[in-house]
């Protein structure tokens, strides 16, 4: 990727490892977002408040991940809105791939859901790496940074 290296590159030289570390932090942060929003909304609307809480969790988690990846892993500048739309589209695509694979493995092959999801996490993490590194934060070779 173009642009200056982030502050974590002084400690960890492999961008893929940084990607996984930031993803792990974002997973914890996302879980905390859900706990917060669910504690505020989960009991509302006859118990249907969990779903708006989940939507808010996704919105805040994507925004948090975008900032963390942009500042700590990929270190790009400019084109914030374009990058954000691309970034969110990679997340949405990974979500739908997750749904499809979960249905295939659980309902089609009758695998246990937890085992299936653990396998799917590896697939969607790899796809997310390629999506974010070559699409979300991609810069052309014409000096665009």
In angstroms, the CA 84 to CA 65 distance is 10
Q: What are the pLDDT digits (tens) for 15-61? A: 888 888 988 898 889 889 988 998 898 888 887 888 888 889 889 99
Q: What is the dihedral of CA 19, 25, 26, 32, to 10 degrees?
A: 170
In angstroms, the CA 32 to CA 21 distance is 17
**Above 80 in pLDDT, residue 85?**
yes
pLDDT value of residue 66: 94
pLDDT value of residue 100: 92
The mean pLDDT value for 101-120 works out to 90
**Above 60 in pLDDT, residue 127?**
yes
Q: Where are the alpha helices (DSSP H) in 103-138?
A: 113-131
Q: Which residue has the tokens 């408040």?
A: 49
pLDDT value of residue 89: 94
Specify the 3-state DSSP secondary structure of 121. helix
| Helix 113-131 and helix 80-102, axial crossing angle in degrees, nearest 10 | 150
pLDDT value of residue 4: 56
Highest mean pLDDT among 7-11, 23-27, 64-68, 136-140: 64-68
pLDDT value of residue 7: 67
What is the reported pTM?
0.75
In order of 94, 103, 104, the CA distances from 112 in angstroms are 20, 11, 11
Residue 84 makes CB contacts below 8 A (sequence gap 6+) with 66
pLDDT value of residue 109: 96
Q: What is the average pLDDT value for the chain, to the nearest integer?
A: 84
pLDDT value of residue 49: 83
The mean pLDDT value for 75-79 works out to 83
9 vs 132, residue with greater confidence: 132
Name the nearest CA neighbour of 73 among 87, 60, 85: 87
């Amino acid at each position: 990727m173009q642009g200056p290296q982030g502050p974590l590159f002084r400690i960890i030289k492999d961008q893929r490892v940084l990607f996984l570390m930031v993803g792990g932090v974002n997973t914890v942060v996302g879980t905390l977002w859900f706990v917060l929003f669910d504690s505020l909304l989960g009991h509302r609307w006859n118990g249907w408040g969990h779903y708006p809480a989940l939507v808010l969790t996704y919105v805040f988690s994507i925004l948090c991940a975008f900032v963390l990846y942009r500042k700590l892993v990929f270190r790009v500048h400019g084109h914030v809105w374009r990058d954000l739309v691309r970034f969110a589209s990679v997340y949405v695509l990974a979500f739908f791939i997750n749904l499809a694979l979960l249905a295939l493995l659980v309902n089609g092959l009758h695998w246990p859901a937890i085992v299936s999801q653990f396998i799917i996490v590896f697939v969607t993490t790899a796809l997310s790496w390629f999506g974010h590194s070559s699409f979300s934060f991609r810069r052309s070779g014409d000096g665009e940074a």
